[in-house]
Every structure is written in structure tokens, then in C-alpha cells.
Homo-oligomer: A and B are copies of this chain.
Amino acid sequence: MDAYAHPVATPPGLLPHAEGQVERFLAVRNLTEALAAPLSAEDQSVQSMPDVSPTKWHRAHTTWFFEEFVLGPHAPGYEPVDPSYRFHFNSYYEAVGPRQERAARGVITRPSVAEVTDYRARVEDSVAQLLDQPHPPEVDALVELGLHHEQQHQELLLMDIKHVLAQNVTDPVYRAGRAPAGSSPPLDWVGFEGGQHRIGHGGTGFSYDNEGPRHTVWLEPFEIADRPVTNGEVLAFMADGGYERSELWLSDGWAAVRSGELIAPLYWCDRDGTHSTFTLGGRRQVNPNEPACHLSYYEADAIAHWMGARLPTEAEWEVAAASRPVTGNLLDLDVLHPLPSTTPPAPGVGQIYGDVWEWTASAYLPYPGFRPAAGAVGEYNGKFMSGQHVLRGGSCVTPPGHVRATYRNFFPPRARWVFSGARLARDVET
């Protein structure tokens, strides 16, 4: 899910929570604070490019979301902690009113990090109180939405702070962690039949509205790789002149290559022929067995072509993933890094969840029958449906419980600060 968008829940699918709701609320909130804990006030204030938001801003914006959409309308007599926060911490809700310009979030020094900590505590108390009392059922739906929203921002926070810390020439360590070994099994293909398939969310659990309606698609027979593209394959692509061969690239991608924007995956550095990469654990040598990460769509597409394959459509991906349990290298505070495959290649599609988001060939567009949700939080459900591609699967910084087979993340094709990689697909000759 990108920094600009928070598609919203389908309220009818939600029922009022009961026991454990406050605990879950606090657990999600506490994880955000745990993610910010290693960061100084300076680290939390910087915006290293327009797409990045300061940590402080993420912590406050996710709090404002509860204040604006839960407490304001539903907590009788609630007074905002600070009226100026509505200006500072609204992301893009036109109906809420004017707001701090996105690209200038990093020049705001007040409120301070300490004041934001206080803001979080006060709003948390108020929400917890509201939940402890009898309350209308839409409160539960909105709190549920707010928690998924906050989980999205937990991933954004880690993407963003990685970009911030990378600006320091000293390669600071966000969190020291183990760098596990593993191997990269030879890529194998898994076949799927053509014909009618069903994709999209149709169950009763939480989902964003852009995941539905569940609907029929027609697919030709296809094969999909049993693991993501690895760093080793990217190194081979580079050694074969991949970044100098126009015939491998989309026209827009080639323009980015020629301008010097694309010369290797983001965060890679080549010193004397040895490639290192900046990670949340500091700078490390590139491990050829790990899934390639921080690729733009253009790079993912070019590498796929170089490997005689293509990227899957999101429908193909979802069909391939549908029967797999949601496990994998999801947010683990000890790792925060794509991991090499440690298991022998099973017959089947592996490393689906966690590690890296996988670019698909599909543009981010509405499903047939998609309807914008009613009400305030649904004001702009589809407004990001142009100029972006869908990514699937979740990454090593996606919180567990936040991802599923139908989840549609989306980013512009240039974006590389996402933990984004690629999985190959190919047609079946018939």
C-alpha cells in the first residue's frame, strides 16, 4: 500500500468486537512505538525525499486518524489535543481541509517528538475508554480500519527511515541483526491451467475495498516461478550488460537508465567490483542467495525479459498464491531483511509472503463492479487508480496479520524505496 493511499474497509463485513479488542488495539499501537524506539529525535524529523515522511509524522498521523474519524464523531464531548494537528497530520483528505504540504513535512519542528509521544498516549486513552463503554458498531469498524491503517504506516515508517538513514555517509545501524545463511535453489516453474478463475476478496475477514468484488477472470495457461528473483540473478544481469542494453527495457525505464537514475538496485554500492547494500542492519555485502529487493518496475520488467520470461499479472499471482498459507519472512524485529531460501525447493510456489513485494504486470485499476465506499473515510477510494502498478505478497517489513492473497499494494513504476522485488512468469506453449 503506498504512502498516498488508504483504501478503506467494507463496513458491512465487520461486526462489533468484544473481548481482546482493547488489547489488540494497544498491541498494534505499541508496535509502532517499538519501531520508533531506536530513533533519535533528529532521525524522526527528517524527510529525505518528497515520498518519504518523517517517523514523527507517521506516529502522529496514525494517531490523528483515530482522533479525526473515531473520537471526533463518536466520543461525546471529545476535544482535539491540539487544533493545529489537524493541519499538520492530515495526509491527503481533501474534505478535512487544508494541510501541510506533503513535500514539506520535514521542515516542521513543532510539535516535537516528545509532544507526539504525549499525543499518542492521550488519544490511546480516549480510544480505549470509548471501546470499554457501550458504543455504536461503526466505531468497531473504524477502529479496525485505523489499526490496518496503522499497520500500513508501520511498513512505511521502516521504508522511510531506511531511506533517511541511508543519507548518512556513516551507514548507521537501525537495529543490529543476524544475517542468516542459506542457498538459492535453481529456479523451477509451477504450471496452472487456463480458463475461468475467481479472484478478489469475498470472505468475511477484513479487507480494503479495492480487493473486491470477488469476480471471474479468464486466464490462459501459465507457469510461475517457485521463488523470487535473487540478487545473484541481478548480478548476472548486470554482468551481462543489462543496464546498457536498450532492447531489454521499456521506453520509460530506458530513459531513467540514461538519466543515471537506474544503475543498480537502490542502496547498492559498487566499490572495486564488490557490491554492498545498505540495510536496516547497516551496510552489508550483497548476498546472491537473497531475493532481490528495491527494484523499480522497470528493472523488474527488464530482468524478466533478460531471463526469457515476463512478470505475472495480478490475477495469475493470486491464483498461484491462493492455496498457500500466509507464512514467511514477515516483520521480524530481529531481521528486517529479505532472507535467502533455507528450505529445499518444495514442489510448489514458495516464498510468497514476506521477503519482498512482487511487482505484477497489472496496472492498478478498479475491479469490475468496484464502488467507492460511502462516508468520510471512503471519500477517495479509487483516486489513486492511475499511473501505478500492483504489487503482491508482502515484504520483510510488512506486519504479520496485515497481508493476504487478495491484498493489492500499488506504487508508481519508478518507486524503489519499497521493499520490492520480482517473480517470473511465462506462457505455456500450446
Contacts and interface: CB of A to CB of B under 8 A. Distances in A.
Given A249-B383, A251-B383, A220 B413 contact: no
A101 B45 CA distance: 19
Contacts of A247: 94-95, 379-380
Interface string A158-192: 00000011011110100000000000000000000
A233 interface: no
B218 A168 contact: no
Given A109-B40, A218-B217, A251-B92, A369 B172 contact: no
A126 interface: no
Nearest to A361: B365
A94 B297 CA distance: 21
Given A92-B251, A249-B383, A170 B106 contact: no
Nearest to A114: B40
A145 interface: no
A107 B45 CA distance: 9
A88 B170 CA distance: 10
Contacts of A30: none
B368 A387 contact: no
A108 B167 contact: yes
A110 B386 contact: no
A252 B246 CA distance: 29
B383 A169 contact: no
Contacts of A307: none
A380 B251 CA distance: 9
Contact of A109 (B5, B43, B108): B43
A220 to B, nearest CB: 5
A164 B104 CA distance: 12
Given A41-B41, A169-B87, A385 B108 contact: no
Nearest to A213: B220
Contacts of A56: 42
Interface of A: 4-5, 40-48, 56, 84, 87-88, 92, 94-95, 100, 104, 106-110, 112-113, 164-165, 167-170, 172, 196, 215-220, 246-247, 249-254, 297-298, 301, 310, 361-363, 365-366, 368-369, 379-380, 382-387, 413, 427
5 contacts: A40-B41, A107-B164, A250-B382, A252-B386, A297-B386
